[in-house]
Amino acid sequence: MTSDAASMDDLRTEVDRSLREFIDRQVVDSDVEPLITAAGELLSGGKRLRPAFCYWGWRAGGGGDDPAIFTASASLELLQASALVHDDVMDKSDLRRGMPSAHRRFQTLHEKSGWYGSAEQFGEGAAILLGNLLLIWSGEMWRTSGLPSPSLAAAQPVHDHMRTELMCGQYLDLLEQAHGENTFDSALRVALYKSGKYSVEQPLRLGLVLAARSREKWIDDLCVEYGRRVGIAFQLRDDILGVFGDPAQTGKPAGDDLREGKRTMLVARTLAAASADDAEIVRRLLGDPALDEQGVATLRGIIEDTGALQECEDMIADYLSESLTHLDNAPITAEARTALGDLAVAATSRKT
- 205 and 251 fall within a common domain: yes
Q: Contact, 348 vs 237, CB < 8 A?
A: yes
- Residue 95 Cα distances to 129, 133, 171, 225, 248, angstroms: 18, 20, 22, 35, 12
pLDDT number for residue 159: 97
In a domain, 247, yes or no: yes
Residue 10 CA to residue 292 CA, distance in Å, equals: 42
Residue 58 CA to residue 340 CA, distance in Å, equals: 11
Strand partners, 100: 95
Q: Contact, 313 vs 220, CB < 8 A?
A: no
- 140 and 273 fall within a common domain: no
| pLDDT exceeds cutoff 90 at 302 | yes
| pLDDT exceeds cutoff 70 at 3 | no
Mean pLDDT to the nearest integer, 5-30: 90
In a domain, 140, yes or no: yes
In a domain, 113, yes or no: yes
E runs forming strands in 43-113: 95-96, 99-100
| Structure confidence by residue, pLDDT tens digits, 123-159 | 999 999 999 999 999 999 999 999 999 999 999 999 9
- 319 and 241 fall within a common domain: yes
The distance from CA 280 to its chain's CA centroid, rounded to whole angstroms, is 31
- Residue 5 Cα distances to 59, 90, 93, 199, 227, angstroms: 8, 39, 38, 22, 21
| Per-residue pLDDT band at 4 (split at 50, 70, 90) | low
Mean pLDDT to the nearest integer, 170-198: 87
In a domain, 104, yes or no: yes
In a domain, 58, yes or no: no
Q: Contact, 310 vs 196, CB < 8 A?
A: no
| Per-residue pLDDT band at 27 (split at 50, 70, 90) | confident
Residue 262 CA to residue 267 CA, distance in Å, equals: 8
Q: What is the domain extent for residue 196? A: 148-352
| Structure confidence by residue, pLDDT tens digits, 243-291 | 998 887 777 777 888 998 889 999 999 999 999 999 999 999 999 989 9
Number of other CB atoms surrounding residue 251 within 10 Å: 15
pLDDT number for residue 2: 39
Last residue of a domain, one of 113, 146, 179: 146
In a domain, 53, yes or no: no
Residue 279 CA to residue 345 CA, distance in Å, equals: 33
Q: Is 117 helix (H, G, I), strand (E, B) or coil?
A: coil
**Please, what is the average pLDDT of the chain?**
92
- Residue 29 Cα distances to 23, 26, 35, 165, 235, angstroms: 14, 10, 11, 33, 39
| Per-residue pLDDT band at 78 (split at 50, 70, 90) | very high
- 100 and 161 fall within a common domain: no
- 160 and 256 fall within a common domain: yes
DSSP conformation class of 332: S
Residue 95 CA to residue 147 CA, distance in Å, equals: 36
- Residues 6 or more apart whose Cβ sits within 8 Å of residue 143: 152
| Structure confidence by residue, pLDDT tens digits, 91-129 | 888 888 778 999 999 999 999 999 999 999 999 999 999
Which amino acid, one-letter code, is at 73?
A: S
Q: Contact, 212 vs 219, CB < 8 A?
A: yes
Last residue of a domain, one of 86, 121, 146: 146
pLDDT number for residue 351: 64
| Structure confidence by residue, pLDDT tens digits, 40-63 | 999 998 889 999 999 999 999 999
Last residue of a domain, one of 146, 161, 184: 146
| pLDDT exceeds cutoff 50 at 227 | yes
Residue 344 CA to residue 335 CA, distance in Å, equals: 14
The count of domains in the chain is 2
| Structure confidence by residue, pLDDT tens digits, 304-345 | 999 999 999 999 999 999 999 999 999 999 999 999 999 999
- Residues 6 or more apart whose Cβ sits within 8 Å of residue 27: none
| pLDDT exceeds cutoff 80 at 67 | yes
pLDDT number for residue 179: 85
DSSP conformation class of 246: -
